[in-house]
Structure 1
Amino acid sequence: MGLEKILSISGKPGLYELTAQTRGGFVAKSIIDGKKIAVNVRNNVSLLSEIAIYTYTEEVPLGEIFKKISEKENGGEAIDHKASKKEQEAYFAEILPDYDVERVYQSDIKKILQWYNLLVKNDFTDFSKGEEKTSDEEE
């Protein structure tokens, strides 16, 4: 399972895994405690696979940023999302040096670090967007 099944639900802490669709929305399971909740179509829901971060040249998918953090930390956790603003910005600049400082806010960086650490703590390390396209470059 890649990031296409991981959700952020506005007004609810943590991340959720999409488990089933219903007539009026869907059922999601908390990654933190495993509790299932019914989510109405009126809730503001974001799929992590659809989130991207602005750079000066392009938008980088969140999955790629998670992969870069994972490579930097050898699969371990990143710095704490409660670290100081300067520490978080310096850390994020190491991961994505050309991120657009005007459009990527401190709260965005904090949320990215929090989400990454939450996923790693719960043994989620597949940061792909879903079905990976195979290439013939390995020949």
Structure 2
Amino acid sequence: MGDAVQQFFAVKAKIAAAEREAGREAGAVILVAVSKTFDAADIGPVIEAGQRVFGENRVQEAQAKWPDLKDAFPDIELHLIGPLQSNKAREAVALFDVIETVDREKIAAELAKEIAKQGRAPKLYVQGNT
């Protein structure tokens, strides 16, 4: 078993222990495994071990590795966790299931246009500064 898979299982065990300690149902916490800087060959074993939610912070990097992985594992949920430039909205809507980085009105407007064009509706997390 590779280091990444061992680390995955160790983190899952810590999450399960924390859920029990907090009195939460098993599986109530969702692990978003950040796969930035790892190539598809490195991510594959973690997917095979059962991880299904991943985060990437760069659209171009995600485009290079995730389309084939998502075809092979259609139950993968891919999150954009980094800042989004408005000129990347089309690509982000096409690839990501969740966009956690809606931090300005301009991004929201570009995403709305692309969602309407593509007929895809990724979940959007809006950042509010308080």
TM-score over 0.5 (shorter chain) = no
TM-score norm. by structure 2 comes to 0.28
Relative to its length, the structure with more strand (as a share) is 1
Q: More helix per residue: 1 or 2? A: 2
